[in-house]
Amino acid sequence: MGEIELRQLRYFLAVAETLHFARAAEKLHIAQPSLSQQIRALEEELGVQLFERSRRHVALTTDGEALLPYARRLVALADDAHEEFAERSGLRRGRVRLGTTPTLGGHLLPRAMRGFFQAYPGLEITITEDGSDRLARQLEQGQLDLALLVEDPNMHDIVFEPLLKEEIVVALPEGHKRAGQESLALQALSSERFIVCREGYHLRTLTLAACKEAGFRPRIAVSGIDIDTALRFVRAGLGVTLVPRIAVDSMPGIAVVSISEPVLRRTVGIAWNPQRYLSQAASAMRDYLRETLK
């Protein structure tokens, strides 16, 4: 047994609607013998007669009437699929699963995305905020299409393209004795209580490594939180934290001081999994972020 062809169902519907082979053939822009041949092939495939034929009369049989709702449904679904993917290929519809660190998601993306939605108003963006380590893992597992994250030499199964450098600064309570300084050596904070992010955040790893390089082990007051919560703890006077400058510029109640030694920078970029399918919508977003953030 073969398979029913979508073309045959379209031909069947045309005859069912006109109840006239010649008019149906004209409507379909095919020769009448070709139409008759395809209808016979469909009847042979199904093992039934679909039309009662005479020189002056064409009518649906009971089997033809039974096929009619299925044929309409299948052809409509095929047309819907064709329209859906025509819109996707034209980027009038589609969804992108984008991962981002909380800093970039909260402070950089809202400004950067304005132009994207102007160019592609029909696209939907689903955003996942997490630490870079977890985002990289979700890319590997196919749970995300793209991610804005921090460069890490341990990322092996994804492609990482650098976009920008972030300066890491120290955030202090506004009334802190060092709040008015332009810069300081990290060693000067060795007696301070530190607020650090939870496991899986690159900023936590960077903070611990920088303190070790500066010759001390930080006294951690609070850990296991995200950057925004860490800054609230700092504003309440409960400690200090290292953060990207973009996260704290112009934040009330927080003083920002550059770190002169060691100088701390991190590279932010866009990443994707080369082993996974990247939709046209995701490719468009990747290209847009490349141009905008560079």
Write down the pLDDT at residue 1. 45
Alpha carbon distance 40, 35 (integer Å): 9
Contact call for residues 184 and 257 (beta carbons, < 8 A): yes
CB proximity list for 154: less than 8 A, separation 6 or greater: none
Contact call for residues 96 and 124 (beta carbons, < 8 A): yes
pLDDT digits (tens, 9 = 90+) for 88-129: 666 777 888 999 988 888 878 888 888 888 888 888 899 999
CB proximity list for 104: less than 8 A, separation 6 or greater: 148, 246, 268
Q: What share of the chain is helix, strand, coil (3-state, %, to 5)?
A: 45, 25, 30
How far is C-alpha 60 from the chain's CA centre? 49
Percent of the chain's residues with pLDDT above 90 = 61
- Phi first, then psi: what are they for 38, rounded to 5°? -70, -35
Alpha carbon distance 157, 138 (integer Å): 11
Q: Quick check: pTM over 0.85? A: no
Among 240, 241, 258, CA closest to 183 = 258
Q: Is the peptide bond before 262 cis (omega within 30 degrees of 0)?
A: yes
Region 205-234 average pLDDT: 93
- Confidence band, pLDDT 50/70/90 cuts, at residue 86: low
Selected residue with higher pLDDT from 274 and 84: 274
- Confidence band, pLDDT 50/70/90 cuts, at residue 83: low
* DSSP string for residues in 233-279: HHHTTS-BEEEEGGGTTT-TTEEEEEEEES--EEEEEEEE-TTS---
Structural domains for the chain: 6-89 (1.10.10.10), 94-162+268-293 (3.40.190.10), 166-266 (3.40.190.10)
pLDDT digits (tens, 9 = 90+) for 3-61: 889 999 999 999 999 999 999 999 998 999 999 999 999 999 999 999 999 878 899 99
What is the CA angle 75-81-84, rounded to 5? 140
Contact call for residues 174 and 253 (beta carbons, < 8 A): yes
Alpha carbon distance 88, 281 (integer Å): 7
